[in-house]
């Protein structure tokens, strides 16, 4: 009893939806919580979204707090956009298993590669910025609770996606040449 490609893709679609919705909640929660802390209740910084303690950072400098939250939001929004594109590819039925080499899929893979580079950049920058703030004596939240980990993995993933995009580009060229010779 084998599992068909269509069944695997259906499972991946469901998983993509779950991840997408989770990232939407995480990004929205982070942004809402930062606004709530900044405008209404600074005491909430002791246990902000996901239990992260930004109280010392907020009391040290509200601007530095907003920079860290902005970097966190950028990373989370880029991840959300990535999974939105993945969900959209399933919804639009662009994924054609009989002719997998097409320009829409190549553009999709290239866009994922660019998003992965951006996520890697902002993750590394956010991690370096947090480390710099710690060097200034500010008590920062545990880095594992911030969305900055794994920047190098995102860079690695972007390289792999760029390679796959170029393989698809070559596949499209070969497919077009094959159609012209028939």
Report the residue count for the chain: 182
Token reading at 50: 């996901």
The H or E element that residue 2 is part of is none
Mean pLDDT of all residues in 25-31? 95
Which residues span the domain enclosing 30? 5-181
Percent of the chain with pLDDT over 70: 97
| pLDDT of residue 111 exceeding 90 | yes
Q: What is the pLDDT of residues 123-165, one digit of tens each?
A: 999 999 999 999 999 888 888 888 998 899 999 999 999 999 9
Percent of the chain with pLDDT over 90: 62
Average per-residue pLDDT in the chain? 90
The band of 93, judged by pLDDT with boundaries at 50, 70 and 90, is confident
Give the integer Cα–Cα distance in Å for 46 and 77. Answer: 24
| pLDDT of residue 2 exceeding 70 | yes
Give the integer Cα–Cα distance in Å for 182 and 179. Answer: 5
Tell me how many domains the chain contains: 1
Mean pLDDT of all residues in 117-123? 97
Long-range CB pairs of 94-103 (<8 Å, 24+ gap) are 95/9, 97/5, 97/6, 99/175, 100/171, 101/168, 101/171, 101/172, 101/174, 101/175, 102/172, 103/172
Query: What phi, psi does 138 have (nearest 5°)?
Result: -85, 130
- Give the per-residue pLDDT at 78: 98
Tell the burial category of 64 from Cβ atoms under 10 Å away from its Cβ (0-12, 13-18, 19+).
middle
| pLDDT of residue 182 exceeding 60 | no
Token reading at 2: 């084998």
């Amino acid at each position: 009893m084998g599992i068909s490609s269509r069944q695997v893709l259906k499972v991946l679609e469901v998983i993509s939806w779950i991840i997408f919705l989770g990232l939407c909640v995480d990004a929205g929660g982070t942004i809402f919580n930062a606004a709530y802390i900044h405008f209404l209740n600074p005491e909430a910084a002791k246990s902000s979204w996901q239990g992260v303690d930004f109280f010392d950072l907020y009391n040290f400098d509200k601007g530095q707090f907003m920079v860290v939250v902005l970097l966190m939001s950028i990373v989370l929004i880029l991840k959300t956009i990535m999974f939105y594109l993945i969900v959209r590819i399933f919804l639009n039925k662009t994924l054609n298993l009989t002719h997998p080499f097409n320009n829409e899929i190549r553009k999709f893979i290239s866009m994922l590669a660019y998003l992965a580079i951006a996520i890697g950049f902002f993750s590394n920058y956010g991690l370096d910025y947090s480390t710099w703030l710690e060097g200034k004596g500010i008590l920062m939240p545990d880095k594992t609770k911030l969305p900055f980990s794994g920047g190098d993995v995102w860079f690695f993933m972007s390289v792999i996606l760029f390679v796959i995009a170029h393989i698809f580009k070559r596949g499209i060229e070969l497919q077009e040449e094959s159609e012209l010779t028939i």
